[in-house]
Amino acid sequence: MAVGFGHTAQDRRVRLLGEPVDAYPRVAPEAARGSVRRITVVGEEILGRRCQEVTRFGTTELSRLIDDMFATNQVAEGAGLAANQVDVDLQLFVWDITDEWGVRHVGHIANPVLVEVPAGQRRLIEESEGCLSVPGPYRMVPRLDRAVVRGRDRNGEPLVIEGRGYFARCLQHETDHLRGRLYLDRLARRDRKAALREMAASKDELFARRAALAEKLGK
């Protein structure tokens, strides 16, 4: 998912895997360790099907993948990134996002499942949304303003992550990816075609920008 920013909150501590921490580096340690991978683009087969569950936890390979996803997300100036966006068929996504209240959320989750929000607590918000696999265009997409996701961390420990506002949108967007769905699939056909035309006109410039930032960061 492409990045967005916000304003105020009473407690602005970084939320690491949902828990507040008193100090956190500007660059996530995973992003500092990781290497940049190619981001898949709409039309590639892996983006259009449901990903496989993560079954092996606590491995060097899984940790390296998470590190690389953080690094790739940083270079692409994203808010979140799913494994199939780096051509890996696994139910896994990462996030590093600042919400409307100025709170930064950082983490990863494997095998995420969106918890159904009770009808009385549902509030649908239509806001602009983009995607690193659809480089360039943004479109208005309705999403719930609250999301709860259950899954596992890299070691297989249970995780429950709750988001509101823009972070809730990110959690829903990335979970959609792992089900083989892009935000484009939520648009009317005419709007989808217009977004694809816009992407075709702007993607080369964005790819060059990502490459330049990767070089600047030594990635």
Per-residue HEC secondary structure of the chain comes to CECCCCCCCCCCCEEECCEEECCCCCCCHHHHHCCCCCCCCCCCHHHHCCCCCCCCCCCHHHHHHHHHHHHHHHHCCECEEEHHHHCCCCCEEEEEEECCCCCEEEEEEEEEEEECCCHHHCCEEEEEEEECCEEEEEEEEEEECEEEEEEECCCCCEEEEEEEHHHHHHHHHHHHHHCCCCHHHHCCHHHHHHHHHHHHHHHHHHHHHHHHHHHHCCC
Q: Which pLDDT does position 98 carry in this prediction?
A: 97
pLDDT at 184 over 60: yes
Q: Which pLDDT does position 113 carry in this prediction?
A: 98
Q: Which two tokens stand for residue 66?
A: 């998470």
On the CB side of 27, how many CA atoms lie within 13 Å of its CA?
14
pLDDT at 2 over 70: no
Contact yes or no for 174/93 (Cβ under 8 A): yes
Instruction: Count CB atoms within 10 A of the CB of residue 36.
Output: 22
Cα–Cα distance for residue pair 85/139, rounded to 1 Å: 19
Contact yes or no for 184/195 (Cβ under 8 A): yes
Instruction: Write the CA distances from 91 to 46, 83, 121, 212, integer angstroms.
Output: 12, 7, 27, 29
Q: Which two tokens stand for residue 95?
A: 């996030």
pLDDT in tens, 139-165: 999 999 999 999 999 999 999 999 999
pLDDT at 115 over 80: yes
pLDDT at 120 over 60: yes
Q: Which pLDDT does position 132 carry in this prediction?
A: 98
Contact yes or no for 32/74 (Cβ under 8 A): no
pLDDT at 42 over 90: yes
pTM of the entire predicted model: 0.93
Name the β-bridge partners of 139: 129
User: C-alpha dihedral over 2, 123, 11, 113, to 10 degrees?
Assistant: -60
Indicate the pLDDT class of residue 117, thresholds 50, 70 and 90. confident
Cα–Cα distance for residue pair 149/18, rounded to 1 Å: 11
Q: Which two tokens stand for residue 73?
A: 């997300």
Q: Which pLDDT does position 202 carry in this prediction?
A: 94
Q: Which residues belong to the active site?
A: 174
What is the mean pLDDT of the segment spanning 103-126? Answer: 93
